[in-house]
Amino acid sequence: MPRQADHAPQSDSNSAPSLAPGSSCRSRRRSGQPWRPVLALALVVIALLLLLPFVLADLQQEDEQDARAVAGQEPAASQPADAALTETFPEVTRDSDGRLQWPRPRIADRKPERDRLVDRYIARGGAFHDAVKDERVVAAMRTVPRHEFVPRSRHRSAYDDTPLPIGHGQTISQPYIVALMTDLLEVKEGDKVLEIGTGSGYQAAVLNELTPYVYSIEIVKPLYEEVVERFERLGYKTIQARLGDGYDGWQQHAPFDGIIVTCAAGHVPPPLWNQLKPGGRMVIPVGGVYETQRLVVLTKRADGGRKSRTVLPVRFVPMTGKIQKP
């Protein structure tokens, strides 16, 4: 018979060491369930993610309330009184949230061409210019039908990023320049804006997407007559246009939050500066016919002082009328 010793278990160097009595089960549970703390942490993260939208919504509501409170503390001119403008702008109302409402046409014709123009030249930066960052301005450029503001013979080129002749020695500006000047003016809803040089009305229509209170002066009578008919036909009911010399501005409706000049002036007309509200902006091309013109942004300080910034060189038709007199 074999010896008893031959069946006795021998020590194996790869086997696990023996554990003290009573500790074996607990040790196995700890080493066999490492996912428990991970699961607990995951549950906490999920709970936080579920609560996050509610927290953000509360913060946003508080921010909106604070913004409304701050807006209520601004000068009355930044929140125009409807009562003072009702006679001139009867179509402008306020909704239940207090936001201004006014009629603006929505023309779907050639919308894909407008989108391509904006995507290629305005919403994205180019080799020689920066992108227009104000989404309201970008949306306005997508909305206003430029082909309605150029002669029929130029309809095919309406959505090229280039100026086009509109007759009487005048032009409709390059779309990028229209967007840039609108962006530089920093128009807020409810601002009163004066435009010098109505032309075909395209710039005024873009401004009208941002505020109902747009005033525009045109010195060339045939262009003025055409643009009044165009505004009426398209449905721009709150753009106020008149025939006159833009050098003098429009004192009856001053002061203005912003003034935009779409023709080059050898100097800033004093009446326009006087009609600009403290804190307001003027965007104007400065320079003579045979000089290098500069697109300039002027900001009026509270004390009437002037802050000036040159943006880029431009080429505009000259301002005519009094400014040309010695």
Give per-residue pLDDT as tens, 191-219. Answer: 999 999 999 999 999 999 999 999 999 99
Residue 2's pLDDT is what?
45
Could you tell me which residue, 189 or 53, shows the higher pLDDT? 189
**pLDDT confidence band for 83 (50 / 70 / 90):** low
The residue ranges of DSSP E strands in the chain, in sequence order, are 93-94, 100-101, 164-167, 170-172, 192-196, 213-218, 239-243, 256-261, 276-286, 293-300, 306-314
Q: What is the pLDDT of residue 75?
A: 42
Is residue 207 in a domain?
A: yes
- Angle in degrees, CA 253, 259, 260, rounded to 5: 135
Q: How confident is the model at residue 18 (pLDDT cuts 50, 70, 90)?
A: very low
Q: Is residue 51 in some structural domain? A: no
pLDDT at 73: 44
Active-site amino acid positions: 173
141 domain-assigned: yes
Higher local confidence (pLDDT), 256 or 78: 256
Question: CA–CA separation, 79 vs 73, rounded Å?
Answer: 10
Q: What is the pLDDT of residue 67?
A: 44
Residue 116 lies in a domain: yes
Domain residue limits at 319: 101-324
CA distance linking residue 221 with residue 259, whole number of Å? 21
Residue 264 scores a pLDDT above 70: yes
What's at 47, amino acid-wise?
Answer: A
What is the structure's pLDDT at 320?
Answer: 95
Which carries the bigger pLDDT value, residue 40 or residue 270? Answer: 270
Domain assignment present for residue 137? The answer is: yes
The residue among 320, 318, 321, 323 whose CA lies nearest residue 288 is 318
Which residue, among 75, 95, 325, has the nearest Cα to 191 in the 3D structure?
75
Q: Which of 76-80, 128-132, 207-211, 266-270 has the lowest mean pLDDT?
A: 76-80
Q: CA-CA distance, 135 to 148, in Å (whole number)?
A: 23
pLDDT score of 50:
67
Q: Residue 249: inside a domain, yes or no?
A: yes
In a domain, 48, yes or no: no
Tens digit of pLDDT for each residue in 108-153?
A: 999 999 999 999 999 987 667 789 999 999 999 999 999 999 999 9
What is the domain count for the chain? 1
47 or 180: which carries more pLDDT confidence?
180
CATH number at 307 reads 3.40.50.150
CB 209 within 8 A of CB 140: yes
Length of the chain: 326
Quick check: is 14 in a domain? no
DSSP 264: B
CA gap 264, 285 in Å, rounded: 5
Whether residue 66 is predicted with pLDDT greater than 70 in this model: the reply is no
